[in-house]
Amino acid sequence: MKSYTIFCFLTVWISSLFSIGFAIADEPVWDGNTVVLMSEKLAEGVYAFYPDNAHDLAPQGLPIATSGGFIIGDKGVLIIDTMLNKRLNSQVQSMIGAVTKKPILYALNTSYHGDHSYGNMYLPSDTKIIQHINAKAYIDKHFKADTEFMIKNFGAGRGIEEIVPRTGDILVPAEGKLVIDLGGKSVEVIDFGFAQTGGDLFVWEPESKVMWTGNPIIAIKPSLPWLLDGHLIETLATLNRVYDFLPPDARIVPGHGPIMGRNDIPWHIVYLRTVKQNVQKAVDQGLTLEETVEKVKMEKFKGYALFNWVHPGLNVPAAYHDLKNKK
């Protein structure tokens, strides 16, 4: 229920974002009808995919379409994130078909967000869908509102209208971990705690030391976390756990960008920690939410194109509610 309320709140914010001319007016931040995906081989049978403009956009802090990947074992394939629409999902299936004829055994969604999960319906009927139990619960309850929200923000005529939900056959419980045996490759699926939606899964391939994070890590600096559903303190703790889990030479496929390293994660952690410290000061001084937003500017992090939306609109309020409730 809570996430639904905030989702409506988000719609208002994104609409005003467009109207103040952040992006091209009435255009989505990225267009599911034009994005072209490319794949990158990270190790034998381990591939990432991301938009072909991701390398240009990420260092500029500009919005990038969804990233994901696939892992091929002796028995078959696991897809990580199935994309927004049929067009993008078929690009994923073509990339897989270009390197293996093995069946797609599993497809995992790092969250319920449509750009990570709407493509589920286009996969073979015997592919098993893997989701966090909370992601399935969200889709079961809010699918109609979710697609309306997505059409509003990613545009009509982007293939969202035809989406029907296809939810998890295999559900990862809260704080759970799952090991998927693809044949000669064991892939770990881990819930590290609340990271953006409360139904967030991270994928770890231990042999190649590659992790898929989904949205909790959007891309390299200067991108920042989007606390759409609040919970700044828990998110900070979760990102610290993820960072501690990773070996120094791990490679990371973030939710919306090209490959990054473990050393790119502290930027996100330092940002959240700084928000927490500054908002704590404001709460201690008895400031209201509006006064806190006004005070906690953190200009150092302004390089992210969506800063004026995520920082005052989502992240500072998330910290304020967390810290206020703690008192």
Using CB under 5 A, pick the residue from 215, 235, 292, 315 that binds Zn ion. 215
Q: How far is the CB of 125 from Zn ion (least distance, A)?
A: 26
Q: Which stretch binds Zn ion (CB under 5 A): 40-48, 113-121, 273-281, 300-308?
A: 113-121
Minimum CB distance to Zn ion, residue 35 (Å): 12
Look-up of token digits 């606390």: 227
- Of 221, 218, 222, nearest to 253 by C-alpha is 218
Q: Tokens representing 203?
A: 């994928």
User: Shortest distance, CB of residue 222 to Zn ion, whole angstroms?
Assistant: 17
Closer CB to Zn ion, residue 113 or residue 209?
A: 113
Distance from C-alpha of 64 to C-alpha of 54, rounded to nearest angstrom: 6
Q: What angle separates helix 266-284 from helix 232-245, to the nearest 10 degrees?
A: 150
Instruction: Between 117 and 292, name the residue whose CB sits nearer to Zn ion.
Output: 117
Residue 212 or 320 having the CB closest to Zn ion:
212
Residue 187, token pair as written in the block: 């892939």
Q: How far apart, in whole angstroms, are the C-alpha atoms of residue 12 and residue 230?
A: 16
- Crossing angle of helices 232-245 and 316-326, in 10° steps, is 100
Minimum gap (Å) between residue 84 Cβ and Zn ion: 9
Furthest CA-CA distance within the chain: 62
191 touching Zn ion, by CB under 5 A:
no
Cα gap 306→75, rounded to integer Å: 42
49 touches 187 (CB < 8 A): no
- Contact flag: residue 213 with Zn ion (CB under 5 A): no
**Residue number, 50 or 271, with CB nearest to Zn ion:** 50
Least distance (Å) between residue 241 CB and Zn ion: 21
The nearer residue to Zn ion, 113 or 158, going by C-beta atoms, is 113
Least separation in angstroms between residue 149's CB and Zn ion is 13
State which residue, 115 or 229, has the beta carbon closest to Zn ion: 115
To Zn ion, the closest distance from the beta carbon of 113 in angstroms equals 5
Kindly state the smallest distance separating residue 115's Cβ from Zn ion, in Å: 5
Residue 58 contacts residue 219 (beta carbons within 8 Å) = yes
Continuous segment of H or E residues that includes residue 39: strand 37-43
Specify the residue, 218 or 246, whose C-beta has the smaller distance to Zn ion: 218
Asked if residue 115 binds Zn ion (CB under 5 A), the reply is yes
Query: Per-residue contact track with Zn ion, 241 to 280, x per CB under 5 A?
Result: --------------x-------------------------
Q: Are 3 and 196 in contact (CB under 8 A)?
A: no
Residue count, binding to Zn ion (CB under 5 A):
4
Radius of gyration from C-alpha coordinates of the chain: 19
| Backbone φ and ψ of 294, nearest 5° | -65, -35
Closer Cβ to Zn ion, 115 or 146, answer by number: 115
50 phi-psi bin (left φ>0, alpha ψ -120 to 50, beta other) = beta
For the CA atoms of 271, 276, 277, 282, the dihedral, rounded to the nearest 10 degrees, stands at 130
For residues 38 and 287, which CB has a smaller minimum distance to Zn ion in the complex? 38
CB of 76 to Zn ion, least distance (A): 26
Using the rule CB under 5 A, give the single segment among 54-62, 95-103, 107-115, 271-279 that binds Zn ion. Answer: 107-115
- Which residues of the chain form contacts with Zn ion (CB under 5 A)? 113, 115, 215, 255
